[in-house]
Amino acid sequence: MFKFNLAEHGTTVRTEIIAGITTFLSMVYILAVYPSGMGEIGIPAGGAVIAAAVASFIGTFLMGALA
């Protein structure tokens, strides 16, 4: 199956789980706060949410694919 060699990379399962949760919470925060900030300069909230979600998806996909 999958062998990630965590010890060879200087990490543990616990560290990776905490990193994943931290990343998820950061994305949730961005999707919750970003539209209000963009609304102040005249960008519709719906468009700001979609733009943030698409940008997050692309960035996450690229990091996963290239790492």
The position carrying tokens 């990490």 is: 11
| Cβ–Cβ under 8 Å, residues 30 and 57 | no
Domains of the chain, by residue range, sit at 8-66
This prediction's pTM:
0.67
**Backbone torsion region of residue 65, taken as left when φ is above 0, otherwise alpha when ψ lies between -120 and 50, otherwise beta:** alpha
The model's pLDDT over 14-51, given as tens digits with 9 standing for 90+, comes to: 999 999 999 889 988 988 888 888 888 888 888 888 88
| Structure confidence at residue 45 (pLDDT) | 84
